[in-house]
Structure formats: structure tokens, C-alpha cells
Amino acid sequence: MNNDAPKPESAEVKNFIYQEIDKDLAEGKNGGKILTRFPPEPNGYLHIGHAKSICLNFGIAKHYNAACNLRFDDTNPSKEETEYVQSIQEDIKWLGFNWKDEPKYASDYFDQLYEWAVKLIKKGKAYVCELTAEEIAAQKGTPTTPGQDSPYRNRSVEENLDLFERMRKGEFKDGEKILRAKIDMAASNMQMRDPIMYRIMHKPHHRTGTKWCIYPMYDFTHGQSDFIEGITHSICTLEFEVHRPLYNWFLDQILEDEPDVKVRPRQIEFARLNLNYTVMSKRKLLELVQKGIVSGWDDPRMPTVSGLRRRGYTPESIRMFADRVGIARRDNVIDLALLEYCVREDLNKRAKRVNAVLDPVKLVITNYPEDQEEMLETINNPEDESMGSRTIPFSRELYIERNDFMEEPPKKFFRLGPGREVRLKSAYIIKCESFKKDAEGNITEIVCTYDPETRSGMPQSDRKVKGTLHWVSAKHAIDAEVRLYDRLFMDEEPDGHKGVDFKEFLNPDSLKTLTDCKLEPSLAGVKPLDSFQFQRIGYFSVDKDSTAEKIVFNKTVGLKDNWNKKGKNK
């Protein structure tokens, strides 16, 4: 052993899949060629779990200086739409990846798959069956007891060929007949008990139109599509491990009499991403959209790539998350807090820090001349000097956060209260002299004086006080709407309770809209997806609903993780 061998670039890059690929390369498999693919079914928008798979497949391609295909596994015309085909491409590009050539479609291979099905029939390895779905289920057996042979299992090749041809021509209704592989009804792997290869569906397909009324099952499509494209490493989630022998069986049958076959895909499984407080099944996400529980697939509370983008997540933060989560062989659940940590890390370095008051109360500085105003310099991001500085206006009337003032503050409250002093960030030290209330007892105005000597560059600029507050000048402030989000679900595993619908665990307070927020004037002209740190509050991103007349921000994430401490986001 050579102990001086260079360490892998990073632990997450060298996960076990990379190690397997390295082995294949060392053995000279596939002539040293690597080709991966990402194979979404276009029946919904991509979610953070898909993002993990994308980062893995495209990441491998990048690492080995190879390519990754995008292939839509579009075998089920009843659930698929071109809207999804579009959104999936947009999301992958936004994540920072590019596929090889044009996107590919399993439906491009329907002719070839049909030929191969005929080939299997001719070899006596497939038959047309007339059992109903219920009958098939009843005859399937259990993992410990064998299934029963279908009464149609021993049809002649000629009869099977004729019936399959007539299935294709549309002579039968949906469900009347299916094509099944003839393998072994007693196989210990249930996937091998004469699985369905083709079903009848009189439905137009988003790409092949009405050409077909029979469609191949995913299991009869996926492995062969990988083969057709010359995929070397077919990486998928663990639930497909038990399908692997079937995919190999199909390829064995198809390639039996073809001596010089080049590349056969090698399937490697990894654990899918599970996030707590989240549902990730596309069926359930679709239900949230269709029932209007969220505003759409890109609702900022959704775990979709488009939802995270709208919420203010950056591609960098999602790629960092995929790296941190790593690739495991066993199922596990990742804490949502890790995803938030990643975006916080990224934006901390990149987002400009600005002043925004979300719940404003007026503050008047009585010794500041009424007609005076001045521009104060403030740095854009102390983490990165190259981001420079800007000026913000100061005047006699300001807004501060309502909760930065207390009429009778306790000892540990270092913000404003009668007789107390605080620093206004990048400005002066002020002292609270009094305050005004309305008939209901709400504070309507905080009356202060300021110390002109405490501004940056003045003799008292270093004078220490315990609290520093953010603020905006009232006359210069711009109005904004700010949407605050909490977890969409209150339970760690909303779809993990037998007999209880996941929607029972929806958080009724997952969206709170603040309509009277005040922003510093430098934020005029912001565009959707621009991200900022609102000082002392968190990271915020401009929503797509935002216009020049009405600025709308989404809260991406708070400055700190408040959930783990208090069990609830503050």
C-alpha cells in the first residue's frame, strides 16, 4: 500500500459510485467510455430529490470529462404533459448543468421496443394475457409462496403474434389484453413473475400523438433505453435494485443472438433523498397544486426546484446541499435545516446587506433639524470588501421595528426603551426620551434625541452602547409586501402515518403576508430573484409578482436556525 497516495479531492466527490466507476475504468470496461443520464418522467416538476440525482449524474459526467443525457421517460401518456418537459429543462439548466445533444425521449424508441417485444414473443418469452389487474394480483403469490401460471401462458407463438399485432391495431379496449414476459411465476424475486411488458391505452401521447394505443411499461423501457443510448452507468434509487435482474433479463433475451454488443449499462443504486417536514412524491405535490393548497408548483413553500428558486435559493446552495448530503446505500432522512444552512452560507457571502423594516413604528428625532437630511455611507457586505459601499439617507423621521422598542423592557433587552440608548446602524446613537400611544394602547411614535458626535468620523464614533438597530428614513422609504414562510407541514414525516392523510399535517400558518414594510430607497428597481440580506432579520428574494409599483419580497431563510432551539420557526 502506498500511504503517500494523494487524498481524494473531497469525501463527497469520492462516494462509492465513483469508486465503482474507477474500478470499471481500471478494468478497461466500455473502452474507457463514461456516459450517464438523468431520466425524469415528465409527470410533474422537479423536486429537491431530483436535484440530488441531477447533481450526481451530471457531476459524474463533469468529473470524468464525459457527458450526461437528459431522457424523458415518457411511457405513460395519461399523466404526462409538455409543460413538465419545459419546466424540467429549465430547472436543470438553472442548476448549472447541460445535457448532451438534444433531450431524448423513451417515446423515440417505441418502434424499437415494439420490435423487441415481437422478438421475445417469437422466442416464446412473452405472451398475451387476458387476466384483469385484480386477477393478476391475486395470482401473483407472495414473497414466500409461488404465484400461479396464467391460463394464457402457453398460447402458441402464432397466436401471441396475432393478438399482439391486433392489440397494436386497436382492436381491443383498454385493459382487455396485456403482453407479459414469460419468466417464472415461482421466482423468489416478485419482479420476475411474468411482469407486464405492454398495456393498451387509447390515449394520445404528447409526442407520438395517436400512432400508438399500446404503450410499453417503464420496466420494459428503461433498461433498453439506457442500452440504446450507450449509457455506461445507469444510476438510480434503491427501489430499483429488485428490478435490476429483470432489466438484465430483458437485455439478455434481446441480445442473445447478437454477438458483438458494445456497451451494456451497469445499474448502480443509491438511497433517495428524504427530507423531514416535507412530502416529495410528485403525486402528493400535484395534489397540493390541484387543490389550491399552494399557489402552484413554484409556490415558495414547495420542495420543488422552481419553488426553491422563487423562494431565493441559489443553484450554488442546492449543489452544496447535494454535496453535503452525500450518496449513501441506505435510506435516511435529512434535516430541512441542512438545506437552509446551505443557502445561508451562500448568501452570507454574496447578498448585499440592506435595511428593511417589516413591522414599522415611527421614530422622531426631536433635535434633528426638520429640513435636514444627509447621506450616510454603509458597507454592502463585510464578508466581501469588493462589494463596496453605498449611501443611505438619514432624516428626522425614521422607521424602526415595532419589536425593537419596549415600554417596560426587562434587563436583558438591549434594544430601545424609555431613557435607553442604542446605535442606529451606520448612523448615530439615539436616546429614547418618550413615546406616544393610541386609544388602544399601541405605540404610535417613539420620541428620541440623537448625539451628533457619534456618527462615523466624529469624535464619539466609537462610543459603545449595547444595541444596534436597523432603520429606514421615513420620507425616503419605499413600501413593500413581504411574504414570510414557515414549514408547510407540522409533522416530521407527514406521509408516514398509516391511515392518516398527509394533508392533516399542513401548517395553517405556513404563509404570512406583511403589507406595510418599509425599505431603504436603494431597493427601488429590484428584479425578481434578486437576493438581499435584510439586516438583523434574514435573507429575502424578490418575488416574480413584484412590479415597479409594488415590490414583493419572499423570505428565503432567517439569519439563524431558530427551529432546532424552539421547535418552531420564528
52 is an interface residue for ligand ATP by CB under 6 A = yes
| Cβ 303 to ligand ATP shortest distance, Å | 9
Q: Which CB atom, from 268 or from 469, has the smaller least distance to ligand ATP?
A: 268
Quick one: which segment of 19-27, 182-190, 272-280, 511-519 binds ligand ATP (CB under 6 A)?
272-280
- Measured from each CB, the residue nearest to ligand ATP is 49
Q: Which CB atom, from 91 or from 520, has the smaller least distance to ligand ATP?
A: 91
Q: Which CB atom, from 243 or from 476, has the smaller least distance to ligand ATP?
A: 243
Quick one: which segment of 47-55, 146-154, 309-317, 485-493 binds ligand ATP (CB under 6 A)?
47-55
Look up 79 and say whether it is catalytic. Answer: no
| Cβ 113 to ligand ATP shortest distance, Å | 18
- Which one among 18, 30, 34, 50 touches ligand ATP, defined by CB under 6 A? 50
| Helix, coil or strand: residue 397 | strand
Within 138-257, strands assigned E span 178-181, 196-200, 214-216, 233-237
| Cβ 162 to ligand ATP shortest distance, Å | 34
**Other C-beta atoms lying within 10 Å of the C-beta of residue 123:** 14
- Report the first-to-last Cα separation within the chain, whole angstroms: 53
Phi, psi at residue 407, to the nearest 5°? Answer: -65, -40
Among 460, 545, 459, 553, residue whose Cα is nearest residue 512: 553
Catalytic pick among 79, 266, 272, 425: 272
Quick one: which segment of 8-16, 20-28, 274-282, 402-410 binds ligand ATP (CB under 6 A)?
274-282
Residues 324 and 10: their CA atoms lie apart, in Å, by 11
Look up 445 and say whether it is catalytic. Answer: no
| Cβ 109 to ligand ATP shortest distance, Å | 16
Query: What nine digits make up the cell of 219?
Result: 420496466
Residue numbers 542-561 binding ligand ATP by CB under 6 A: none
222 is an interface residue for ligand ATP by CB under 6 A = no
Q: Which CB atom, from 41 or from 492, has the smaller least distance to ligand ATP?
A: 41
| Helix, coil or strand: residue 454 | helix
Quick one: which segment of 50-58, 316-324, 375-383, 437-445 binds ligand ATP (CB under 6 A)?
50-58
Q: Which CB atom, from 218 or from 414, has the smaller least distance to ligand ATP?
A: 218
**Other C-beta atoms lying within 10 Å of the C-beta of residue 424:** 24
Kindly state the DSSP code that residue 176 receives in the 8-state scheme. Answer: T
Catalytic pick among 41, 130, 135, 481: 41
Residues 282 and 289: their CA atoms lie apart, in Å, by 10
| Cβ 239 to ligand ATP shortest distance, Å | 8
In 256-376, which ranges are continuous DSSP H helix?
282-290, 305-311, 315-325, 336-350
Residue numbers 277-296 binding ligand ATP by CB under 6 A: 280-282
| Cβ 298 to ligand ATP shortest distance, Å | 16
| Cβ 275 to ligand ATP shortest distance, Å | 8
Residues 158 and 151: their CA atoms lie apart, in Å, by 17
Residues 484 and 359: their CA atoms lie apart, in Å, by 12
The answer for residues whose C-beta is within 8 angstroms of residue 441's C-beta and 6 or more apart is: none
- Print the binding letters for residues 5-44 with ligand ATP: x by CB under 6 A, - otherwise: ----------------------------------xxx---
59 is an interface residue for ligand ATP by CB under 6 A = no
- Which one among 34, 45, 49, 487 touches ligand ATP, defined by CB under 6 A? 49
Q: Which CB atom, from 82 or from 367, has the smaller least distance to ligand ATP?
A: 82
Helix, strand, coil: what percent of the chain each, to 5? 30, 25, 45
Q: Are the CB atoms for 508 and 489 separated by under 8 Å?
A: no
Q: Are the CB atoms for 338 and 327 separated by under 8 Å?
A: no
Residues 537 and 523: their CA atoms lie apart, in Å, by 16
Locus of grid cell 450616510: 376
Q: Which CB atom, from 50 or from 415, has the smaller least distance to ligand ATP?
A: 50
Q: Which CB atom, from 39 or from 360, has the smaller least distance to ligand ATP?
A: 39
Quick one: which segment of 104-112, 276-284, 333-341, 412-420 binds ligand ATP (CB under 6 A)?
276-284
| Cβ 425 to ligand ATP shortest distance, Å | 42
| Cβ 280 to ligand ATP shortest distance, Å | 5
Query: What nine digits make up the cell of 510?
Result: 405556513
Count, residues near ligand ATP per rule CB under 6 A: 14
Q: At what angle do helices 315-325 and 336-350 cross, to 10 degrees?
A: 140
H/E stretch holding 23 reads helix 16-26
Q: Are the CB atoms for 38 and 46 separated by under 8 Å?
A: no
Angle at CA of residue 137, ends 135 and 138, nearest 5°: 65
Residues 281 and 44: their CA atoms lie apart, in Å, by 10
Catalytic pick among 125, 155, 282, 309: 282
| Cβ 553 to ligand ATP shortest distance, Å | 29
Q: Are the CB atoms for 128 and 177 separated by under 8 Å?
A: yes
Residue numbers 226-265 binding ligand ATP by CB under 6 A: 236-237
Look up 282 and say whether it is catalytic. Answer: yes
Q: Which CB atom, from 201 or from 280, has the smaller least distance to ligand ATP?
A: 280
Phi, psi at residue 457, to the nearest 5°? Answer: 90, -10
Q: Which residues bind ligand ATP (CB under 6 A)?
A: 39-41, 49-50, 52-53, 236-237, 272-273, 280-282
Question: Which residue numbers are catalytic?
Answer: 41, 272, 282
